[in-house]
Amino acid sequence: MQRNKLGHWAEELAHVYLCEQGLQPVERNYWCKTGEIDLIMLEGTVLVFVEVRYRKNQRYGGSMASIDIRKQQKILTVATHYLQSHKMEQQCRFDVVLIDGAVEKPQLNWIADAFRMDW
């Protein structure tokens, strides 16, 4: 499967899973000039920014290793842009959905509040 198709597949898998867990979709693939956030959802009154990472194997540390401090800072910047452009002031958190393994049998791991940012 092509890289961009794999990305869309992983985001759709995460989206469906999170909806099944009770989260409500707000926006997908929010983009601004500094980057993108894969999924924005609501869990109750909490706005949840979700990063989806897929890795077929653990060669370079797997999906979790791909979310370094630079990536976290980028997500924070985009989330701040989203909140400011939508004039929102509400509780937020940053979740990660990690997907590892072959497409035929993926292993999904949802980490709520995966990294904290002080506002």
For 57, other C-beta atoms within 10 Å of its C-beta total: 9
Task: Indicate whether 77 pLDDT > 60.
Answer: yes
- Residue 20's pLDDT is 97
Q: Provide the whole-model pTM.
A: 0.87
Task: Indicate whether 119 pLDDT > 50.
Answer: no
Name the nearest CA neighbour of 112 among 88, 84, 82, 92: 92
> What whole-number percentage of the chain has pLDDT above 70?
84
Residue 108 and residue 117: Cα distance in Å, rounded? Answer: 24
Local confidence band at 57 (pLDDT 50, 70, 90 cut-offs): low
Name the nearest CA neighbour of 50 among 28, 81, 77, 73: 28
- Residue 100's pLDDT is 84
CATH of domain 3-111: 3.40.1350.10
